[in-house]
Amino acid sequence: MGDLAMLNLAMSGNPRYQPKDLIDYFGYDRLYQPVSEVEIANLRTLAEIHVIPRKEIMMLTPAMEELLLGITTTEVDGIERNVTKHDIRAWVRIAQERMNCRLSRWLHAMLTSYDPLDTARSIQFKRSYDHVLKPSIHEAIGLMADLVEQNAGVLQIGRTHGRAALPITVGFWLATILDRMIVNAAFMDQYSQNLVGKISGAVGAYNAQVGLGITQRCGKKTYEERLLTKVGLKPGDISRQIVAPEPMNYYLFSVLMLSGAFGQFGRDGRQLMRSEIEEILESKDQGDVGSSTMTGKVNPIIFENIEGAWWKNAAEFLKPLFTVISEHQRDLVGSSLLRDFPTMVINLDTQLGNILRKDKKTQTPWLARLVVNTANCTANFNRFKHLILGEPIYIALQMAGYPGDAHKLINEEIAPINRTTKRPLIELIEEKAQSDTELGTALAAIPADVVRLLHTPEEYTGSAKGQALKIVDKAREFISN
């Protein structure tokens, strides 16, 4: 497979903070390994239906397969640029030289370039999901579920438009993100299983297979099915010279959406770390520096990186969109964009790497070390509790028979006083009711337990805790399947 020290293992996108666990799939000099797998499967399928003589296929030893799987992108580049001006014919040249036997004449027989190329691409994305992304996603979901459960009942002021709104809990906030993680992870899993290959020839109509009698040799299972089974894929229902874009694009869209769920966590987290809010705190490893000049400063660097990776993926998804169309059976306009598709997966894995980053001493993941500052949650809630119960007060008055517009009453008469005096809305309503008969009658008709609730805004959290715990159960069921 080549000396690692001699291989170019750079991946697409900015290499500065790239994760290392995807190198086996998207490292530059590994890109032709799945191409080699398809070509090897092609030889074995031709032998299986007795096109290649048995004495020749016996030359395909494990050692020879290893030689073919070790063909690097750098080697292909050299032949392509200097000799063939064609990548797959360059691969074939190299492979034939390495085989150096009669079997080599069968290389690439029955195939067109995008049979191995598109099939190899699906192999790369499916395997990188199965072996790298899926385990990390499940770990992140499990850790987030723990965090939600721990904070399901921790009071927090809800915020809309950046302003204090109704009471929620920290666990409820986190659960809204956790649920999006689960939903999009499920779509990723589904669409990864839908990635397909193709062995259908130069225009996708199986011309050589039908015209040269290959189809007739295959029986109930087609040549395409026989070959793709060997590399763990299924064919699409129909293709042109290239695989239809939908399977890959839907998979990448699910990557984008999961990246967006993490991006939401990044956005919320870094806002809640603001000095004037500070309800969330990132843990800091010894030796970490938050500023080149302001000593002791702790920045929301992980949250910022998580959100930033989402921005990058949003921009990257334009590339799959542009490959939705091509001219007739194919053109080469989108081929350069296809080579950039791994960037989206790399960006998502970077987000996961930040979320799961272990500290130097305890090896505890970053998400498990995230600190909820309950004291500040309470303090921030108390700053606004006098003004946040306008909703239940006006609805309770209307339900109790207040003949006027209770919303207008609070918005235009009571709230201005509230903003100036910071006295609770319900106290101002009770005071006004002493001189307003209609208001007093309605207020007296409100059930006692509701009146008590109007005086205790910290209890007006609806089903926030219960909903948070419901999503915890959903998460644990998801990762157990």
Question: Within a domain: residue 12?
Answer: no
Question: Within a domain: residue 214?
Answer: no
Average pLDDT over residues 88-116: 96
pLDDT at 3: 63
What confidence category does residue 298 fall into, taking pLDDT thresholds of 50, 70 and 90?
Answer: confident
Q: Which helix (H) or strand (E) holds 176?
A: helix 170-193
Q: Is 67 in the same domain as 94? A: yes
Average pLDDT over residues 66-95: 96
Q: Is 409 in the same domain as 335? A: no
Question: How far does the chain reach from its first CA to its final CA, in angstroms?
Answer: 35
- Characterise 163 by phi-psi region: left (phi > 0), alpha (psi -120 to 50), beta (else): beta
Residue 199 has a CB neighbour count (10 Å cut-off) of 28
> Helices 342-355 and 134-150 meet at what angle, rounded to 10?
40
Q: Is 59 in the same domain as 190? A: no
Helix/strand/coil for 206: coil
Question: Within a domain: residue 41?
Answer: yes
CA distance 100 to 85: 23
Domain final position from 61, 79, 109 = 109
Q: Is 352 in the same domain as 288? A: yes
Question: Within a domain: residue 288?
Answer: yes
Query: What's the whole-model pTM score?
Result: 0.93
Question: Within a domain: residue 206?
Answer: no
With pLDDT > 70 as the criterion, what percentage of the chain qualifies? 96
Q: Is 184 in the same domain as 137? A: yes
Question: Within a domain: residue 156?
Answer: yes
Q: Is 315 in the same domain as 440? A: no
- Characterise 451 by phi-psi region: left (phi > 0), alpha (psi -120 to 50), beta (else): alpha
pLDDT at 289: 52
| Higher-pLDDT residue of 128, 293 | 128
Average pLDDT over residues 448-469: 97
Segments forming the whole domain that contains residue 76: 32-109
Question: Within a domain: residue 186?
Answer: yes
Q: Is 160 in the same domain as 302? A: yes
470, pLDDT greater than 70: yes
The DSSP bridge pattern shows strands 163-169 and 155-160 to be antiparallel
Cα Dmax for the chain: 106
Average pLDDT over residues 211-229: 96
Kindly report the average pLDDT of the chain as a whole number.
94
326, pLDDT greater than 70: yes
Q: Is 68 in the same domain as 183? A: no
Domain final position from 349, 378, 407 = 378
What confidence category does residue 360 fall into, taking pLDDT thresholds of 50, 70 and 90?
Answer: confident
Domain final position from 323, 349, 378 = 378
Q: Is 286 in the same domain as 416? A: no
Average pLDDT over residues 440-461: 96
295, pLDDT greater than 80: no
pLDDT at 293: 55
Which residues, 6 or more positions from 173, have their beta carbon under 8 angstroms from its beta carbon?
156, 158, 268
What confidence category does residue 17 fall into, taking pLDDT thresholds of 50, 70 and 90?
Answer: confident
Sheet strands (E) in 315-393: 371-372
Integer angstrom CA distances of residue 346 from 17, 32, 130, 299, 371: 10, 18, 14, 24, 28
CATH number at residue 76: 1.10.275
Average pLDDT over residues 72-101: 96
Q: Is 416 in the same domain as 303? A: no
Sheet strands (E) in 286-441: 371-372
Q: Which helix (H) or strand (E) holds 345?
A: helix 342-355
pLDDT at 292: 46
Question: Within a domain: residue 137?
Answer: yes
Q: Please say whether the beta carbons of 153 and 167 come within 8 A.
A: no
102, pLDDT greater than 80: yes
296, pLDDT greater than 80: no
260-271 as b/e: b if 16+ CB within 10 A: bbbbbbbbbbbe
CA distance 184 to 40: 35
pLDDT at 4: 63
Q: Is 255 in the same domain as 318? A: yes
**String of DSSP letters for 13-82:** S--TT--STTHHHH-GGGTTHHHHHHHHHHHHHHHHTTSS-HHHHTT--HHHHHHHHT--HHHHHHHIII
How many structural domains does the chain have? 3
CATH number at residue 368: 1.20.200.10
288, pLDDT greater than 70: no
Helix/strand/coil for 157: strand
Q: Is 338 in the same domain as 278? A: yes
